[in-house]
Amino acid sequence: MVLNSHGGFLLLSSSFSFSSPSLCPLRPSLFKHRTPHNYFSIMAAMSDDPIREWILTEGKATKITRISPIGGGCINYASRYDTDAGSFFVKSNRNIGPSMFEGEALGLGAMYETSTIRVPRPFKVGPLPTGGSFIIMEFIEFGGSRGSQSALGRKLAEMHKAGKSSKGFGFDVDNTIGSTPQINTWTSNWIEFYAEHRLGYQLTLALKQFGDSEIHEKGERLIKNTQQLFEGAVLEPCLLHGDLWSGNISSDKNGDPVILDPACYYGHNEADFGMSWCAGFGGSFYTSYFEVMPKQPGFEKRRDLYMLYHYLNHYNLFGYGYRSSAMSIIDNYLRMLKA
């Protein structure tokens, strides 16, 4: 198994992407993982190693045969643990407490429980004795092909259809989108939730970080006028992956789609297409998706609204290279809505 640029997974044996590398030319590999050469020897020497302890008890292994570092980067350590009971994938961070990985585990668990699209099953989250935290999850052997967009569209729609919430829109915990906090306070109204906890949060962050009063003022005007974009749409809370770009999509050895590294919450199903500009979804993806989850009135008018959240997040994470895309979407909506 593998890691992607958000701290998820990448192929070990072959290159995979639904989109060409040029599709997201400005997205840096900020969230890849690094593993110093002495890290595993240090962990192996520790008598109080909760990762090893879990694998050799609840993981039902009697011996660990190999520990292999995976990836390279600056946020999390990543490793594959091979044992006589199979392989495990482990991420750890010596500076951040368990809450980040707990959010990831809850999202993976929620998607896994739908029994629809394949995701790595989470097993254990906990603190490290020297500070920081870890997550242990299923190791998935990736296939050598790009996988089927048609199958991905169908399976994603099945997850959206199966993953429902009686609490409204939100999630049981806040989590992160990249490294940006993602607020998931339960809200009964989708338009209010998206306005406050998605667009509004990002606009306020841009104002605080960059003093960008223009994008904040125009964005707030847009937020106050989005109601008409949802006329005729059925707004039901569906379980969303939350960050579905090409680096978080793969396929297993059987060619079945796998999605990774989520920023889960319950929201309007169309919001999961918000990273489509960096996922390369084609016609077969949407055709298969809408066979399971029918297209709703006004779908085309809302597509850019859902992309806006992610463009704003990229602006806040990576700077001005993404500002023009976000501003263009806002200006286009203000003209269309005469706001």
82 catalytic? Reply is no
Using DSSP, state whether 4 is helix, strand or coil. Answer: coil
By C-alpha distance, which of 122, 125, 27, 140 is closest to 80?
A: 140
What residues have CB less than 8 Å from 281, skipping those under 6 apart? 18, 149, 153, 273
Residue type, 246: S
**In this structure, are residues 260 and 250 in contact, taking their beta carbons and an 8 Å threshold?**
yes
What residues have CB less than 8 Å from 324, skipping those under 6 apart? none
Is the C-alpha dihedral spanning 305, 24, 267, 16 positive or negative?
A: positive
**In this structure, are residues 241 and 155 in contact, taking their beta carbons and an 8 Å threshold?**
no
Cβ neighbours, 10 Å, residue 191: 17
CA angle (196 as vertex; 260, 172 as ends), nearest 5? 45
End-to-end CA distance of the chain: 48
From residue 38, how far is each of 16, 43, 45, 103, 176 by CA, in Å?
A: 30, 9, 11, 29, 29
CB burial readout 139-178, b (16+ within 10 A) else e: bbebbeebbbbbbbbbbbbbbbbebebeeebbbbeebbbb
Query: Which residue in the list 49, 212, 243, 272 is annotated as catalytic?
Result: 243
Which residues are part of the catalytic machinery? 243
